[in-house]
A and B are shown apart, each in its own frame.
Chain A
Amino acid sequence: MSTSLFRLKNVYYSYPWNGERVRILNGIDLEIPYESFTCLVGPSGTGKTTLLNLLGLIDRPDTGSLLFDGEEVQGLMERKAELLRLHKIGFIFQSFYLIPTLNVLENTSYFALQVFPSERIALEKSKEVLDILGLSDHLYKLPSQLSGGQRQRVAIARALAKLPKVILADEPTANLDAETASRTIEAFQELQRREKTSFIFTTHDPHLVSYAKVIYKLRNGKIEGRGAL
């Protein structure tokens, strides 16, 4: 088994814009261990979200090597990438993207039902995660009946209930007030401790950064520095 959850070597990424290729990532070298609590920081437009997308297998590098859980993902077929994402990766976004017509439990168990062999296990695991996130009293509410913080926690629960190896969160607290943001990060930590799940998130919030065990600082599409607390 690989010792690193992610290993990136000389990763370049660009996207087409007005007939030209705009370079976003400029030779990223990065290693993220299992069960880590990692934060990606840097000014806007520096490539944090792009890097997170590559780690989450929803985009592919132009060149370079990207190993996830010991498997090279460069050139991976989309069908295989779908299955890897389903079973091993959870994604959280600052816009929660819940399904408005499903209640909290149904949203949370959306992927768990595809991963676990029985509905009972999937629902049990979903309820357990919702309990950790303090949403046990809201199982049958629709997203429209929840506050922003509660919705974000449902999105976290949805990503986590399938027990992935890693949760990738793109500015997960950007739409939350300071107190809710802190509670969300504490929930991340609690889940990491209990489920041994790795967390990688991007943020501009210095308070949030203080929770991270490892910090990567990006500038102009490169890793400018690495810090550990």
Chain B
Amino acid sequence: MTPSVGQPFKIAWRNLFRNKRRTLASTITVAFGAAGLLVFQGFNNGIMNQYRENTIRGYYGYGQVFTKGYYGKVYEKPWEHWINDPERMEKELLSIPGIVQLFPRLSFFSFIVKGGINLAGKGEGVLPLREAAFFDKMNFEEGTYLKDENEVILGKGLAASLNAKIGDTVTILSQTIHGQINGVDLRVAGIFHMGIKAIDDQYYRLHLKTAQSLLGTNQIEMFSIQTKGVEYWEDIQRHIEEEVSTLEAIRFEVLDKVYYQNSVDFLEAQFNFVRSIILLIVGLGIFNTVAVGMLERGGEVGALRANGEQVRRLWLIFLIENSLLGLIGGICGLLLAVGINKTILSSGIPMPPGPGITRHYRILLEMRGEHYWSALFLPAFVCVASSIWPIRKLLSQKIPDLLRSSY
């Protein structure tokens, strides 16, 4: 081995200082591309996480537990598939590491009556105090959450159809699981919306005990789960399925596939498109700069090749040079993005209410490890890729032509 192994790296590095203005222009191009990718990905992630929080804390929790085979199916007698002895089951589930709180729920179909108006609705019995502590992202149009067993909160569309206002009394009529007609009068405490008209037109909530009394059962339909975080779900799900064989756990992305997962997929597709545009701009900028730079080196490359320099070594030198350029530009871009995040965007980006949400909120950039890597390496890769054609064009020329092309 000759002592020239490290020579291409040295020459490539020095070549960056050959035309400082051009190197600076290329570095800025790559840096803006990398910063753009990182900021946009952080923004996107911020939106997704904000939306995830809304989904989790609005209704679903981190996931829900049903008896095995219940979720996703319709039964003539659903109570035959509900969870028996919920207190015992709750204790068992709470012993699983990572579970912070459980929210037992019981949903059922009923008539809801006010004055002469009689509508079909879907009620859900919950434990109000427990739910209010965690599910703080419900959208209330008027009033407040349930405070006692004599109250009900109504979906916006349902309340409008019933012409119900805060303080009005409505009557819930249903059938117990034993087939008897049963009813209860409840006072309207709040009017909310979930952002989906079909739900808001028929959905209402009442105290779990009231719902159980109405249906003549002490069963519940399912538990909604609060965990220590999204990252705990896999373990919790595994524990539940191993330790409580009669139950199955469904994560929130599956429960809210229509809204949450589709939104995530939509934002991801949008990001991929914007990323392609950013990388295309970086690629074109670098291509132009490298092409001009290569043109100027014709005579020099011709003289080197006339003296025996090998084409593959020149390829290596030029590719290293552009890799270094891409990496330096990428690092500058990451620093720029972090700087922007810590200064201009430190208090987040104010956003209008999202779909199905009434609150304004601020998006904080959430840049994760893998975002840094992709923002660093994608523009660097594009930088190298866009230099290949100009390099190839230069190195495929005959030596006499290169010598004649000298500046």
Contacts and interface: CB of A to CB of B under 8 A. Distances in A.
B17 interface: yes
A117 interface: yes
Interface stretch (A92-100, A146-154, A186-194): A92-100
Contacts of B299: 93, 95, 97
A94 to B, nearest CB: 10
A159 B303 CA distance: 10
Nearest to A123: B3
B2 A111 contact: no
Contacts of B300: 97-99
B308 A113 contact: no
B399 A59 contact: yes
Contact of A97 (B308, B398, B406): B406
B303 A86 contact: no
Interface stretch (B7-15, B47-55, B335-343): B7-15
Nearest to B16: A101
A7 interface: no
Contacts, number: 87
A154 to B, nearest CB: 12
A183 to B, nearest CB: 22
A111 B10 CA distance: 14
Contact of A113 (B4, B14, B18, B307): B4
Interface residues of B, number: 27
B308 A82 contact: yes
Nearest to B18: A101
A178 interface: no
A119 interface: yes
A119 B400 CA distance: 31
A162 B307 CA distance: 10
Contact of B7 (A85, A86, A113, A158): A113
B390 to A, nearest CB: 19
A115 B307 contact: no
Given A99-B11, A114-B4, A82 B311 contact: yes
A159 B306 CA distance: 10
B406 A95 contact: yes
Residue among A79, A100, A122 with most chain B CB within 10 A: A100
B17 A122 contact: no
A47 interface: no
Interface in A37-80: 50, 53, 56, 58-59, 78-79
Nearest to A53: B400
A34 to B, nearest CB: 19
B308 A83 contact: yes
A58 B400 contact: yes
Given A97-B300, A100-B18, A86 B306 contact: no
A201 interface: no
A99 B307 CA distance: 13
Interface size class of A (residues with CB under 8 A): 35 or more
B305 interface: yes
B303 A115 contact: no
A102 B303 contact: no
A121 to B, nearest CB: 9
Nearest to A121: B3
A82 B310 contact: yes
B17 A111 contact: no
Contacts of B10: 106
Contacts of B398: 58-59
A211 interface: no
B345 interface: no
Contact of B14 (A79, A89, A98, A101): A101
A45 B300 CA distance: 23
Contacts of A196: none
B2 A114 contact: yes
A152 B322 CA distance: 30
Contacts of A113: 2-4, 7
A118 B4 CA distance: 9
A163 B286 CA distance: 39
A97 B302 contact: yes
A82 B303 CA distance: 12
Contacts of A159: 307
Contacts of B307: 85-86, 89-91, 111, 158-159, 162
B265 interface: no
Nearest to A115: B2
A116 B3 contact: yes
A23 interface: no
B236 interface: no
A86 B15 contact: no
Interface string A138-167: 000000000000000001001100100000
A89 B304 CA distance: 12
Most buried by A among B3, B299, B398: B3
A111 B4 CA distance: 9
9 contacts: A59-B398, A83-B308, A85-B305, A85-B308, A95-B299, A97-B303, A99-B300, A113-B4, A117-B2
Q: Sorted from nearest, which 7 A-B pairs have the closest CB atoms?
A: A86-B308, A97-B303, A119-B3, A85-B308, A101-B14, A58-B399, A91-B306
Given A85-B305, A93-B303, 16 more contacts: A53-B400, A56-B306, A59-B398, A82-B310, A82-B311, A89-B307, A93-B403, A95-B406, A97-B299, A113-B4, A114-B4, A114-B308, A116-B3, A117-B2, A119-B3, A162-B308
